[in-house]
Amino acid sequence: MSPHNTTTTPGRSGTDTSGASPGGRHLGLALFVIAAAQLMVILDATITNIALPAIQTDLGVTDGNLAWIVNSYALAFGGLMLLGGKAGDLFGRRRIFQAGIAVFTLASLLGGLAPNEGLLIGARILQGIGAALAAPNALALITTTFPPGKSRNTAMGVYAAMGGVGATVGLLLGGVLTDVLDWRWVFFINIPIGLAVLAGTRTLVEAERHPGRLDVPGAITGTGGLIALVYGITRGGEHGWTGALTLASFTAAVVLLAAFLLIQARTADPMMPLRLFKDRNRSGSYATMLFVGSGMFAMFYFLTLYMQLILGYSAVRTGFAFLPFSVGMAAAAGISSKLITHLAPRLIAGPGLLVAAGGMFWFATLEADSSYAGHLMPAMFVTALGLGMSFVPMTLGAVSGVGHQDTGMASALLNTAQQTGGALGLAVLSTISTSAANDQLPEAASAYFRGLATKDFPLVAKAGEALTHGYTMAFVASGAMFLGGLAVMLLAVNAGRQHHAESAAPLHMG
């Protein structure tokens, strides 16, 4: 899955299996194909967030199931990303990349046509599978298509930029499409992009294949265990923690995840080589990212609901309201990438996580009538600065000292930790939020929508206050997760300053 485990020589990068000359025009088209694919996969993690209130109203989605529209994608994407990279090694990266884009495009069509929440969640799982096949192989295809030097460096830079701007583009595009057309267009928009990417994949140069086999049992037990765990958390919050189905879900999660670890320890070609966890800095980076993903996914989710339901923002306005987050992330990531050669990673990421936690606790003071300029915007910017400071040191910590054959696997594991942490965190925090809101007003979300439908504005106001209380409790828990990540980093990560930046796949900011 790594760009480094290809045995393709630079000379072979100069030929296309379709016979096309890799001149500037073809390299330009190849770069467009990879960048468009990466952007599509990354923006889909956030584009749906903006449409959630519209989806909830149109399809009658319950509060508990609303989180699954986000989580189903994250679980499939994060849980199967390592398998997607391995499949590229075995069967050809271009072929698996094409299969991933095809699956993603078909799933987007199904999502846009979904008549109910069950089929929509199913389509989101299918999108996640497509993304897990495409994303790890897109990075590897850069090294086989672009000759070493300026053109490859440019391609890597564009690829990394797509990872960074994807979340912002998703929020803005999701807002415009939902307001101007309909929430279904947040899915339909992927169809022309996906077809254009598929048409352009002939410009990409295939890599040599590698011997080995797919760890299908590992993929099934690992992803199944995570889904069971998230379902147990979500159901426990809705129906009680001692219910038969809740307990059965947790039992299945324990059995499946234990089986997953056993398979990884004993199989010759594991999906997740346990040797990668032997280095304390690397393990510390993965564990920290698990906590960071938990808090960050929840921030997007609850802020979107707060701005649209409580403050009455349109979808477009909500998308633009997130711009300070993107600006803060970009600025802090730029600063931290320069500091990393002068300071130890934990001296950059540690204060960053502390600042991010401060931003979340600032969000926790929101009220039903808080202002954007005086409250939301500064808290968002502060949180983004803190997170931006932590991402570069964690990425370098994940790949520092890794053998060439494991570099792609190590960086993909960091992305997997972020997606998995996000899904688990959102399940926990939505449970906390719903319970806190319902303590103030039973079935607060249902009461809110009932009040809107019957124009019972006192009920809308009362339900709005209860929902806001629920969101603020989630923000408190989110800040605590950032502090948990900080504690792990301080205890586990002891690497010195980085004398040179090592290559790593950029993180998916979604």
What percentage of the chain reaches a pLDDT higher than 90? 20
Q: How much is the pLDDT for 13? A: 38
Residue-range definition of the domain harbouring residue 339? 276-497
Across 62-71, 87-96, 138-147, least confident range: 138-147
Same domain? For 169 and 256 the reply is: no
What is the average pLDDT value for the chain, to the nearest integer? Answer: 81
Residue 66 in domain: yes
59 and 137 assigned to the same domain = yes
Q: Are residues 356 and 220 in the same domain?
A: no
Number of C-beta neighbours around residue 243 at 10 A: 14
For range 389-396, the mean pLDDT = 78
231 with 342, same domain? no
Q: Three-state SS string across 173-238, please?
A: HHHHHHHHCCCCHHHHCHHHHHHHHHHHHHHCCCCCCCCCCCCHHHHHHHHHHHHHHHHHHHHHHH
DSSP assignment of 237-249 equals HHH-TTSHHHHHH
Asked whether residue 223 is domain-assigned, the answer is yes
Residue 267: its pLDDT value, please? Answer: 85
109 pLDDT band, cuts 50/70/90, is very high
Q: Is the same domain home to 50 and 139? A: yes
pLDDT of residue 16: 39
Cα 413-186-231 angle, rounded to 5 deg: 50
Question: Which of 205, 224, 259 is the last residue before a domain boundary?
Answer: 205
CATH number at residue 338: 1.20.1250.20
The residue from 240, 268, 296 where one domain ends is: 268
Domain stop point among 173, 205, 237: 205
Average pLDDT over residues 284-300: 86
Q: Are residues 57 and 159 in the same domain?
A: yes
Q: Are residues 290 and 319 in the same domain?
A: yes
- Alpha carbon distances (Å) from 471 to 79, 257, 265: 27, 31, 41
Asked if residue 209 lies in contact with residue 89, where contact means CB atoms within 8 angstroms, the answer is: yes
Instruction: Kindly state the tokens that stand for 160.
Output: 């990394």
Q: Which of 424, 416, 501 is nearest to 85 (CA)?
A: 416
Q: Is position 21 within any domain?
A: no
Task: Return the DSSP state at 3.
Answer: G
CA distance readout (Å), 197 to 164, 258, 267, 403: 20, 39, 35, 32
Residue 211 lies in a domain: no
Please give the average per-residue pLDDT across 432-440, as a whole number: 89
More confident residue, 185 or 75: 185
Do 193 and 295 sit in the same domain of this protein? no
Domain-embedded: residue 18:
no
Rounded mean pLDDT, 411-424:
80
| Lookup: tokens for 68 | 């699954």
Q: Which residue has the higher pLDDT, 150 or 363?
A: 363
Nearest by Cα to 411 from 392, 387, 384: 392
Say yes or no to pLDDT of 509 above 60. no
Tell me what the mean pLDDT of segment 67-85 comes to: 83
| C-alpha 219: how far from chain center | 18
Instruction: Tell the burial category of 253 from Cβ atoms under 10 Å away from its Cβ (0-12, 13-18, 19+).
Output: buried
Determine contact, residues 55/61, Cβ cutoff 8 Å: yes
Segment among 237-246, 326-335, 458-467, 499-508 with least mean pLDDT: 499-508
Here the tokens at position 40 are: 């599509």
pLDDT score of 400: 66
pLDDT of residue 209: 65
Residues 309 and 394 in one domain: yes
The predicted model gives 232-248 an average pLDDT of 80
Total domains in the chain come to: 3
Residue 28's pLDDT band, with cuts at 50, 70 and 90, is: confident
State whether 91 and 222 are in the same domain: no
| Pair (369, 480) in one structural domain | yes
Who wins on pLDDT, 393 or 294? 294
Contacts of 281 (CB under 8 A, 6+ apart): 345, 397, 400, 401, 492, 493, 494, 495
Token pair listed for 296: 């960050």
Percentage of residues of the chain with pLDDT beyond 70 = 85
Which DSSP state fits 443? T
pLDDT-derived band of residue 484, with 50, 70 and 90 as boundaries? very high
Report pTM.
Answer: 0.80
pLDDT of residue 208 exceeding 70: no
pLDDT in the model for residue 405: 61
Q: Are residues 241 and 162 in the same domain?
A: no
Give the up-direction half-sphere exposure of residue 200: CA atoms within 13 A in the CB hemisphere: 22
pLDDT tens-digit series, residues 244-281: 888 998 999 899 999 999 998 888 878 778 887 887 87
Do the domain assignments include residue 388? Answer: yes
Q: Is residue 1 part of a domain?
A: no
In a domain, 241, yes or no: yes
Q: What is the pLDDT of residues 308-359, one digit of tens each?
A: 889 989 888 988 898 888 888 878 877 877 787 788 778 888 899 999 999 9
Predicted local distance difference test score (pLDDT) of residue 293: 86
Please check whether residue 419 is in contact with residue 78, taking contact to mean a CB–CB distance below 8 angstroms.
yes
Handedness of CA 33, 34, 38, 41 (dihedral sign): positive
362 confidence band (pLDDT: 50, 70, 90): very high
Q: What's the average model confidence in pLDDT over 79-95?
A: 82
Mean pLDDT of 208-229: 80
Q: Which of 471, 453, 183 is nearest to 307 (CA)?
A: 471
Name which residue leads in pLDDT, 114 or 211. 114
